Structure 1
Amino acid sequence: MQEMEIQDYARRLFDAHGTKAIAEAAQKASSFEEKGKPDEARTWRQIEAAIKLIRGPNAS
């Protein structure tokens, strides 16, 4: 997944789920890690990081 796609997906996920999107992305990444799929896990970690940036530094 390209950076623009990651940013777009992160934005849509955040718009749909708010701050819960961070946990959702982290859970998907962990699931792929457990399944031995590091590329998919890396993509979800990037999505998680992008959501955190969208959320901003002052949100908890």
Structure 2
Amino acid sequence: MFEGYATNDHIHMLLMLPPEYSLANMIGFIKGKSVIRIFRNYLQVKINFTGRLFWARG
């Protein structure tokens, strides 16, 4: 199950995960896949994502 709400500067998400998936691994997966998609679709970066920063630490 996935539900979300987005504003200009942040996103709220509600996730329901099966017990065999850890929350930290799932968040890492979502952040990793979403930043690749953003770089490819909106920033026209096709290769070499190494060293690029997108998500804020925190």
Q: TM-score category by the smaller chain?
A: 0.3 to 0.5
Question: More strand per residue: 1 or 2?
Answer: 2
Larger Rg computed on CA atoms: 2
Question: More helix per residue: 1 or 2?
Answer: 1
TM-score, structure 2 normalization:
0.35
TM-score, structure 1 normalization:
0.34
